[in-house]
Structure 1
Amino acid sequence: MVRIIVLGAAAAVLLPAGSAAAQSVGGATPAQAAPQGQPLGGPVIPGVCLLSREAIFANAAVGKAASARLNELTQAAQREVDAQRTPLETETRALEGQPDNAQTRQRRDQLAQRWQTLRALAAHNSQEIEATRVKAMGRIAGEAQPLIAQVYGQKKCGLLLDRSTVLGGNFANDLTADTVKALDARIQTITFERERLPQQAAAPAAPRKP
């Protein structure tokens, strides 16, 4: 899941979504797109075929386009958090070393509440980005499903296995590459906007002890 996280009162907001793994709409990196086991060879088993949905999402043109768009939306969501984080960090540093009196404690309590609100915003943005990813992946899966069935029939398959669960063997009946080729011929790109979810109010911060 894509996460936009506020670690603490004076900590930076981290965005694991900037990594290669999070940028893939299917949640798979190119390394994960390859068969998990070594191709040990052996005879082709008639009717037994393999498929990697993760590799389809990672390698098809529409999957790459969706990942690029998702990355744009994730960066925009991060900027929303960063815009509020920077002034909070400035105020937090300004309070360091201040005398411990009633006025300072009140300012710290108010600042703690604002940090909590920011953490709620970061969590909410993460949920919206994840909902966006799931919806986009579902659309691509819908486009790919009839093509998978078509290639499945062409190869005269009688059983289809998830390639990631296969430890080794003969991968001659792997339908992934043919499915990617067919999907590229069917659709090249996809457009979508960020999903919007109801905003939940942040719980009030616990007051500091005098």
Structure 2
Amino acid sequence: MIVRSLVASLVVLAAGSAASAQTAGGDRPAAPLASGAQPLGGPVVPGVCLLSREAIFANAAVGKAASARLAELTRAAQAEIDAERAPLEAEAQALEGQADSPQIRTRRQALAENWQALQRKAAHTSREIDATRAKALERIANEAQPVIAEVYAQKNCGLLFDRNSALGGNFANDLTADVVRALDANIRTIDFERERLPDTQPEASAPAVR
């Protein structure tokens, strides 16, 4: 597809790591162990807490809502490109096998220029979708930050580590599930439209039109 789908790369960032994003609520990520090795555990370390931001985005209602909205915007953007691509493909098919002539050369040149214009538009649309995703993530992160701080204080944490970086141990001080519940109580959805970027931005390498 010309405009790459965001569903996998969106706020549901969870898709990137099944272990870290599995139910923000009870299951903890297991440490990778050699065959026959004993699972890591140990006592709770007072003041040391864990958090998975990916699992928050994946499991909180607002993250799911943002994911669905981004998927909707991505489909609409793809439909725009597809609508312009269809007549170009029809013209290319019509010109296939045509004997060379000034008129045919003119049509082929116009077709090549239109393909290039569509490629540029597709690349620009992809950047707009990426900008939309980044802004949605930022909004959710801003909503989550005070909630994280509140849960952090309630649990008497002195240090907060990324849960995904922990190789093993006692995960009793994982704040993720509590943060998801608190965030759900504060906000469940956000509304946003596709970001519109100026056409003068430097162009990334345009994806091939198929």
Report deviation, 1:202: 10
Written as runs of structure 1 = structure 2, the 5 A alignment for 1:114-193 is 114-193=114-193
Do the aligned residues in 1 keep the contact of 2:12 with 2:64 (CA within 8 Å)?
no
Distance 1:36 1:106 in 2: 64
How has the CA–CA distance of structure 1 residues 113 and 50 changed in structure 2, closer, same or farther, with 3 Å as cutoff?
A: same
Distance 2:46 2:78 in 1: 50
Distance 2:148 2:202 in 1: 45
Q: Structure 2 counterpart of 1:71, which letter?
A: A
Q: Structure 1 counterpart of 2:168, which letter?
A: G
Structure 2 residue ranges without an equivalent (≥5):
23-28, 33-38, 204-210
Distance 2:42 2:96 in 1: 68
Report deviation, 1:189: 1.0
How has the CA–CA distance of structure 1 residues 99 and 126 changed in structure 2, closer, same or farther, with 3 Å as cutoff?
A: same
Secondary structure, aligned partner of 1:17:
coil
How has the CA–CA distance of structure 1 residues 52 and 202 changed in structure 2, closer, same or farther, with 3 Å as cutoff?
A: closer
1:94-144 Cα distance to aligned partner (Å, 9 max, x none): 111112344323322211111111111111111111111111111111111
Q: Once superposed, what is the RMSD of the aligned Cα atoms?
A: 2.2
How has the CA–CA distance of structure 1 residues 107 and 37 changed in structure 2, closer, same or farther, with 3 Å as cutoff?
A: farther
**Sequence identity (%):** 66
Report deviation, 1:201: 9.0
Corresponding residue for residue 11 of structure 2: 25
Q: Structure 1 counterpart of 2:125, which letter?
A: N
Corresponding residue for residue 62 of structure 1: 62
Report deviation, 1:162: 1.0
Corresponding residue for residue 111 of structure 1: 111
Do the aligned residues in 1 keep the contact of 2:62 with 2:184 (CA within 8 Å)?
yes
Q: Please tell me whether residue 37 in structure 1 is matched to residue 23 in structure 2.
A: no
Residues matched between the structures, number: 189
How has the CA–CA distance of structure 1 residues 152 and 116 changed in structure 2, closer, same or farther, with 3 Å as cutoff?
A: same
Q: Structure 2 counterpart of 1:48, which letter?
A: V
Distance 1:44 1:103 in 2: 79
Distance 2:85 2:13 in 1: 28
TM-score, normalised to structure 1, is 0.82
Do the aligned residues in 2 keep the contact of 1:36 with 1:163 (CA within 8 Å)?
no
Corresponding residue for residue 35 of structure 2: none
Secondary structure, aligned partner of 2:160:
strand
Do the aligned residues in 2 keep the contact of 1:74 with 1:129 (CA within 8 Å)?
yes
Secondary structure, aligned partner of 1:21:
coil
Distance 1:101 1:161 in 2: 69
